[in-house]
Structure 1
Amino acid sequence: MIATSERVELLDRSEYLAKMVLESDIADQYRICLYNLQTNEVTQRKIREFSSLKDLYEEVQRFGKYHPDYKKVMVQIRQAKREMDLDPYVADFKIAENDLQSILDDISALIGGAVSKNIKVPTGSPFFETSSSHSGGGCGSGGSCGCS
């Protein structure tokens, strides 16, 4: 790769943009919430319980409703997930994570759109899909995706 002044300038600007994101209030809030999530013993216990039940859940899923502990495990996993999701540190972290992801999605869409309005940006949000990238269904959905 040949280092041109244009490439160097692009790299400098991208580093500046990354620094702006890292120093933003939303990134600070994310780091605070992550720290609280990782350091709270009660929260960590709930996460460990849910993780251990996930292994049991996967075992039960192999046999489905025919597994002898199917109902018991399904109730346990739902209760553990609900307890974990209602934990204030988990809830705060998920909000902060979504806020940070939203900024990153917006930046990706702006950069992609600056190059071409037909650029597909994998944001996971249908809001950012262009009309040319989404035409009522893909190959597997029976829609007319336009590929040949």
Structure 2
Amino acid sequence: MDTPTCPPPRDDREKEILEKLVAIRDRLQLLKQDRTTYIRSQDVLPLYDETIEQVRQLNECRSSDRREENRVDRVLESCFQLLSLFFMTIGRNNEAPAAYALTSTIRRLLDHLTEVDLYSAKDLESLSHTLTKLAHNAGAL
């Protein structure tokens, strides 16, 4: 089964946001592939700030109506996944960006389990325990 294609954005403002997010994602991927230096906070935090600015602009752009998922959403997801892993790499494990990779993975797992209607109470307890622990760690700041 092929992965369904994701439509490009129709709105010109979203197209501009997409271009900026693609550039951010590309820089994140280059940073990930660079094995010559260690990842540092000063490498990651500006990219995080740029991503958050694009999210702010996207929220303004979409404030009037909710649209179907498009390529902007997929690229933004990639940016947040990479940022989340980088936050863990630089030791900021208890901050919200670091929790993104884990929570989005749990969300996908729950979606798949619901889709096939194949899960047990033990599965849900384990996921609940993980989320509770994550919430406790985030609240410890």
TM-score (norm 2): 0.36
- The structure that has the greater radius of gyration is 1
Q: Tell which has more relative contact order, 1 or 2 (C-alpha 8 A, sep 6+).
A: 2
